[in-house]
Every structure is written in structure tokens, then in C-alpha cells.
A and B are shown apart, each in its own frame.
Chain A
Amino acid sequence: MKAYSREFLEQLYRTLYTIRVFETECIKLYRQGLIIGYFHPYLGEEAVATGACAALREDDYIVSTHRGHGHCIARGGQLNKMVAEVLGRETGYCKGRGGSMHIADIATGNIGANGIVGGGLPIGVGVAMGVHVRGSDQVTIIFFSDGACNNGVFAESLNLAAIWNLPVVFMLENNQYAVSSPVEEMSRVPDLYKRGEGYGVEAHQVDGNDVLAVYEKTCEAVDTCRLGKGPVLLEAKTYRHSGHHVNDPGTYMPKERLEYYRARDPIKIARNNLIEHARCTDQDIEAIEQHINQQMEKAIEFGKNSAQPSVEAFLEEIETN
């Protein structure tokens, strides 16, 4: 392993753990009936967003998906505004109008989640086109999963980014399911990075549960893009720890496979990094976790105490539509 500072490894761990706590606590709120609608947890996939976003500069961009909480947090999103949004409050990222599937955070370059599978792909390529026209060297990471690869926009976006050498990292989070459909039934070649070759796009596979592996591969891809030699397709293999959304028990996920991936929990792997390579003790890590737990508690308080959007104000706002 390359040498990393303790500070950096701790920072990665903080992000991973924050995502884990956000999802876990929100699922509780959902079960209490406080969150409604669709809520797609990122549990088990935390290392992809964390490693990928750690490779970006502050002025870079990301494009997210319906499973977008992890991307938002990894890009520096605020827990208060996220919790308030999934609770539908006026203080949320979208003033309670968007909800879980539509959180965007323009300030951190997070173009936003999307309720349409694949909907973000061309948008991300367009963000990169803007960068290209402006002549800047910002990079865009587009997150999407295996299901989206079977939509036409994937093929078109890959080709468009390729013919204009656009600075895009296509970050394919292969969690091996589209809702209940296994990737190996929906595609003859489940190693989806191989599709890059046909478009002349450099492509690699990476262990999506190992935050440092994701980080290192993304750093290389980002460098390639900044040099004007993009795009790059990265396939991060990973697995959900739960069903497709909170109300999906995920009974179609084979137990042994789930166990295999749970044993390779991205949080555990990052924790080991801290202990083995940064001389952290269990107590050090507990202190980090404690702090994040408290932040999440505060965010939930903030969300719960925030006002519901005013119906009157909303009706006034849409009057001129």
C-alpha cells in the first residue's frame, strides 16, 4: 500500500462512516413514518462515492443518481439540509420540494440526484462540454449503476464524451442489481467496463468496497481527464447491504453473496487501514464515530424542528408558472 497520512485516512473514514450513519438513521425515520416516498440506501457502497470524490478538486463536478445520499455527503454536503430535505422541510436542500431522489447541491458542484435511471449521464457529459468550451480543466464524475448501462443514453453518452475527449469519469457503481434484476441476467458480459473498448474509452475495473483502491484509480482517471485525454470508464464492483429501497426486503439477494460482501464491508476495510497503517486505536476510531453520531443527532433535531413549507407561499410561487 502507498503511504497515506493519518489525517487523510481519518478523513476517508469520517466520510464513509457519515454515509453509513445517515442511511441507518434515515431508515429508522422512514420506518417511523417520518420519511415517505422512495428512499434508496447506499449501504454497502459507501467506498465508491468516498474514494471517488476524494480524488476531486473543489471546483470539479459530480452527477448523482436516485441512490444519491452517499455522493452528496462525499462531496461535502450538509447533513442538516439533507435530513431536512428527506423530511420534506423548508430548510432542506430543495425546500422540501424535491425529497430524497432530487437532492442537488450546486455549491459543492453536485448537479444532483435523479429519479430517471440514466437521466444524469448526458447531463454529466454536458457539464464536461461546458468545461471544454470554457477551456477550463475541471473534471466531472458521473455516478450510475449497472441498470443504467442498458439504457440507450449510456451508449450515446460514452460515444459523445469519447469523440470530443471530454473530461468525464464514468463511475459505474456495479452493485450487481437493477432493483431485483441481477446484472448477469441483464447483460451477457457482466464485467461492464468492457463496454468501454468499443467506444475507444479507457476502462478499468476496481474493488468498489476498498476505498483506497477506488481513490487511487479515480486519481489516475482524473489526471487523464485533466490532460485532455478523457473520458475514462471505471467499474467499481460492489453490493448493496439491503434491498433496492427501504420497503424492499431484498429476498432475491442470495444469502452467501450478501455474507461475502458483508465480510468485505467497506467500513471494516477502512477501519483496518486506520489501525494497520495509521496507528489508530479502537478508542481513536470510537471518538471519530462518536462525533459523527452526535452530528447526525443534531441534524435530525434540526430537521424535525424545521418548519413545513407553507402551502400559501407555494401556491403564490407557482401562480405565474
Chain B
Amino acid sequence: MSTETVNTDIKMRELMVREALNEALCEELARDERVFIMGEGIAQRGGSYKVTVGLLDKFGPKRIIDTPISEASFTGMCVGAAITGMRPVVEILFIDFTSLIIDQIVNQAAKYRFMSGGKGRVPMVLRTQGGSGNGLAAQHSQSLEAWYYHTPGLKVVMPSTSYDAKGLLKSAIRDEDPVVFIEHKLLYMDKGPVPDTDYTIELGAGDIKRPGNDITLVAWSGMVKRTLAAAEELSAQGIDAEVIDPRSLVPLDKEMILSSVRKTEHLIIIQEAIRRGGVASDIASIVQEEAFDYLDAPIKILAGKNTPIPFNVNLEKACVPRQEDIMRAVKEILNT
């Protein structure tokens, strides 16, 4: 559950996701001198998605660092700095390019704590961005969270709202272990309420985005919005869906999903990534092991099509679950 302190003077502001992320970075940089940021075009230009705008002016070039296109090495630098007491945040502009840094994340950052017998820690954050929907084609549109979900030693966080983005990023920076923080390219301009207090959200705490009794819909990142839209339209048709956003995939709020399924007895998991070897399949396997007796129908997975993302806009759209796909699946499962 969220750990923000309840305060009667809290003011809510409508912030874009990118502004909420910027605030999180700003506050953590101010709060902790060990925090610094590296990435391409993040300092002088403020980042391609404008998440780091203004940070250079506030915190200077020693802590807000524009790098050459040397991803493997500047990510590895963050590992080294983290081991020796710093709290680096590294930005890789597209999750597609994290293929270039995967040794430093998977073989180095993820395993250092274990390999050092627990003596060493790697408190770094990899901020990156994924998903399709902007016509950016096969090498700039992938949903690759399963790669990191699969690796012991990493936490994987995927926010869907401004509120969650800020609270989760602050927790990620304060975390003692490496966190892969995956944003969605279509969400940066989405607005949502953000309190003007210093709040954090515990990694591993899911969120019920919409309570309901008839069916559980689990979705994260870019899929939350269309799942909620589907749930709203279904409610007009008398179907009361519960929408759960785990917010972090590792650790996963298993209990929130299980207790919802025990209540609704139906589960659909919606993910943008392709199905094979994906997180949805893993969540399904957990639920059938631990709540099989409560299920009234087989668990359904809606996932991205098993293909590289095409450039053409119609083909691109056809690759990812749409609102109408979600609605159709719900009705099928509920036999309505």
C-alpha cells in the first residue's frame, strides 16, 4: 500500500507523467547528494521526452551528465559508482537499446550483491522507456520487461500514472538494489493528480485502479488506460470489473491479485509485450497454483502479437490488445 503521510494541507496538482518524473528526480537530487544522472542528451537538451528538463541548471554538470553514445560503458560506470556509495540514475532512451547494456545490468548489477556474499550493494536505477504506438517501428517500440523480470537480483517497475511515476521513482532511487524503471512512450503527456508532498510508493505494492466484483483485470504500464476505459464501458453494460495495476512486476503484489481473484473468480491479464515467455504467463501460473479452486473459468491472457512491431500505423495498432479486444474477452469469459 502507498506509504504517503496523510496530511490535510495536501494540495493536488495536475501533472503530466514527465513532469511528475522530473519532480521525483529533482527532489531526490536535492535530498541526497549521492544521486547523479547520466544519459544521452539529458542535460543540455533536457532529454528527448523532456523528463530531465531544468536539472542541469539546478544541479550542475557534475551531477547531470550528457554522455557520448557509449551505453554499455556509462551504464557500467553507474554500477561502479553505485557499489562505492553513489546513487546513479542512468537513462537509456529506448528499452530497445538496453540490449547494448545487458551485460552490465544482468551479469554485473543484478548479481553483485549475491556474488559478494551480500557485502556489496548496487543502488542504481536504470530509467528507460518502451512500448509501441508512435510509428517508430521495430527497433524503437518493443516491450521487453520480461528480460529483466526473468533476472534474479533486479526489481522491475512500470508506472501508469503521474502519481505512481513520481512515488515509485523516488522509492527506486532510495532502494538499495538495482531497479529497472520502465516508462511508456505514450504516457509522458498524460495528466493526473500529484500531491505537493514528499511521498513515496513502496515497490511491490499494487494498486486497485478500479474496484469491482465480477472479474479481475490485471494490466500495467500502457495497458492500464485502455483496460480502465474498457471497464468503464462494461460497467454501463452491467459488468463490474476490478482493474489491478501491479505497478512493480518485481516484487509483485501477488496477494492483491490473489485476493481479487478469490472475490471475482475470473481473471484476464493484459500485456503489451508478446505472450511467449512473458510476465502475464507467469502471473497466470502463480494464480492457477495458488487460487485454482476459486477460478470459475480458465485464465485469459491478452498479449501483443508475436512479431516485431511494424512501421505502418494500421499494422502497428493490430499488434497490441485494444479496448474492444479487452471488452470482447471479458464478455466471452463471463458468458454474457
Contacts and interface: CB of A to CB of B under 8 A. Distances in A.
Contact of A38 (B71, B136, B318): B136
Interface in A253-273: none
B307 A178 contact: no
Contacts, number: 103
Contacts of B48: 179
A271 to B, nearest CB: 35
Contact of A179 (B41, B100, B318): B41
A98 B309 CA distance: 9
B137 A308 contact: no
Nearest to A153: B100
Interface in A110-131: 114-118
A152 B76 CA distance: 13
A96 B41 contact: no
A147 B68 CA distance: 7
B137 A98 contact: yes
A186 B44 CA distance: 13
A283 interface: no
A11 interface: no
Interface residues of B, number: 32
A66 B71 CA distance: 18
A309 B66 CA distance: 40
Given A37-B137, A115-B137, A151-B69, A321 B306 contact: yes
B140 A102 contact: no
A99 B307 contact: no
Interface string A309-321: 1010011001001
A181 B311 contact: no
A88 interface: yes
A214 interface: no
B237 interface: no
Contacts of B136: 37-38
A228 B245 CA distance: 60
A150 interface: yes
B69 A150 contact: yes
A38 B140 contact: yes
Interface of A: 36-38, 88-89, 94, 96-99, 101-102, 114-118, 147-148, 150-152, 178-181, 185-187, 252, 308-309, 311, 314-315, 318, 321
27 contacts: A37-B134, A37-B137, A37-B311, A96-B310, A96-B311, A96-B315, A97-B138, A97-B310, A98-B137, A99-B135, A101-B137, A115-B96, A115-B137, A115-B139, A147-B68, A150-B68, A151-B100, A152-B73, A179-B48, A180-B41, A181-B41, A181-B68, A186-B68, A187-B68, A309-B315, A318-B307, A321-B306
